[in-house]
């Protein structure tokens, strides 16, 4: 997942019941110089397939598995975590100054 306070870092979140783990999983390809990208054309094609002209490959990609979950309520709570257009417009130089619940990430 992507955090505004760590715009170049891809985050990982894994949870089963009450046990949760989160942390940095590497960097988004957008933060890696192209000469350090994979040389395999298929790998590059996969990166480019999800590319956005504004944020590169950064994205939110969450999968929830469970029984009797209230999908609309969960979706609304996750959507409330997304940046607004105005917040996106101020850019990373401001995002990294915000309160950060993941301070220990690089």
* pLDDT tens-place string over residues 20-74: 999 999 999 999 999 999 999 999 999 999 999 989 999 999 999 999 999 999 9
3-state secondary structure 60-99: CCCCCCCCCCCHHHHHHHHHCCCCCHHHHHHCHHHHCCCC
Q: Nearest-CA neighbor of 6 among 100, 91, 77, 89?
A: 100
pLDDT band, residue 101 (cuts 50/70/90): confident
The torsion angle over the Cα atoms of residues 1, 58, 100 and 75, rounded to 10 degrees, is -50
pLDDT band, residue 104 (cuts 50/70/90): confident
For the chain, the domains span: 2-95
| Phi, psi of 103, rounded to the nearest 5 degrees | -60, -30
């Amino acid at each position: 997942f992507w955090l505004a306070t760590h715009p170049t870092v891809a985050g990982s979140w894994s949870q089963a019941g009450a046990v949760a783990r989160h942390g940095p999983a590497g960097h988004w390809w957008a933060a890696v110089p192209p000469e350090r990208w994979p040389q395999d054309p298929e790998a590059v094609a996969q990166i480019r397939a999800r590319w956005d002209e504004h944020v590169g490959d950064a994205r939110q990609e969450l999968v929830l598995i469970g029984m009797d979950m209230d999908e609309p309520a969960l979706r609304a709570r996750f959507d409330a975590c997304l940046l607004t257009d105005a917040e996106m417009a101020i850019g990373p130089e401001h995002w990294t100054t915000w309160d950060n619940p993941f301070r220990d990430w690089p």
